[in-house]
Structure 1
């Protein structure tokens, strides 16, 4: 006798798959507490910038990170997950931007929603990402950004100026040219 799946089981499986993929979609979506980014860029005028939260945590592969140790330098946070296709696509561009701006900016990944470090470490090896990443599986570090330009899409990139204020955010996949331009402007006090 052949086993037949109940139609509702297929529906539940399809819904579960869509929720897992929603955090990394190419178009806007509010499922799973994240939205898919459209590459939109927000730049905050210098006079309107607010203090960025202190980001701390365990680094992938060991060690710890504390943003307070990078005071006086531009910090570029990139929120990513090993499961995210746009994250894979933008990783080489971010690494190139990090290398090109190393004298004026510290790049830091915030790895989210990976349940263990193994897939995240495999991602960094596969894409040659050399800048450190904070392991943030439950999004605690992301929540610190509150309503002030929250990194609600995966991927998201946030640029913090040398005074420790949120200067810019890109929701969704970005390019080397965009990030280099943001770092150059923010480092120049713009």
Structure 2
């Protein structure tokens, strides 16, 4: 007859495995896996699908609705203050934002898995000037991105074309040259 595991011991084991899995997946390692973590992909115009409508409160307390950027290319970056890869790429995102903001491109961040104070400190420390939505404890913004990006991938960067369709995604940290190379053809589309 099989021995039954003590319920407390079973709970502790399951919780430990879940915590380890979350820790390993939460900040992308750069290696590809079943969720395509570490991948970058451009989506041909004929295969693009509409990006979900997102709105919410930014770190500075204002309301933001992505529909306000209709007709612009939008770069969306999912990040968290505790994510080392997010910290490393933030300067590249800001410099690319500065280079493209007068070319019909809007950057928007989504601060995931932080409280507002942590997110505000990160933005100030990293000198990020574009707005960031706060996902909050309920994960309501991230759940709208199921199937678009891996919810385990931080950082993730998405490019939404002028029609509001997903054109490109990176499920890992990126630099200015990678982002500029991805943006240029999307910006050039009519």
- TM class by shorter chain equals 0.7 to 0.9
Matched, 1:142 2:122: no
SS class of match (2:129): coil
Please list, as runs of the form range in 1=range in 2, the aligned pairs for 1:23-102 lying within 5 A after superposition: 23-26=26-29, 27=31, 37-38=37-38, 40-102=39-101
List runs of 5+ in structure 2 lacking aligned partners.
1-8
What's 1:5 paired with? none
What's 2:112 paired with? 112
Contact 1:37–1:155 (Cα < 8 Å) also in 2:
no
What's 1:21 paired with? 23
SS class of match (1:102): helix
What CA deviation, in whole Å up to 9, does each residue of 1:2-51 have, x standing for no partner?
xxxxxx8x989975763452201414578xxxx6932x211110111111
What CA deviation, in whole Å up to 9, does each residue of 1:77-115 have, x standing for no partner?
00000111100000000001111110221000001111x
Moved over 6 A (4+): 10-14
Shift in alpha-carbon separation, 1:143–1:101, aligned structure 2, 3 A: same
Shift in alpha-carbon separation, 1:163–1:21, aligned structure 2, 3 A: same
List runs of 5+ in structure 1 lacking aligned partners.
1-7
Contact 1:36–1:172 (Cα < 8 Å) also in 2:
no
Instruction: Give the TM-score normalised by structure 2.
Output: 0.83
In 2: Cα distance, 1:145 partner to 1:13 partner: 25
Shift in alpha-carbon separation, 1:15–1:96, aligned structure 2, 3 A: same
Shift in alpha-carbon separation, 1:16–1:122, aligned structure 2, 3 A: farther
SS class of match (2:46): helix
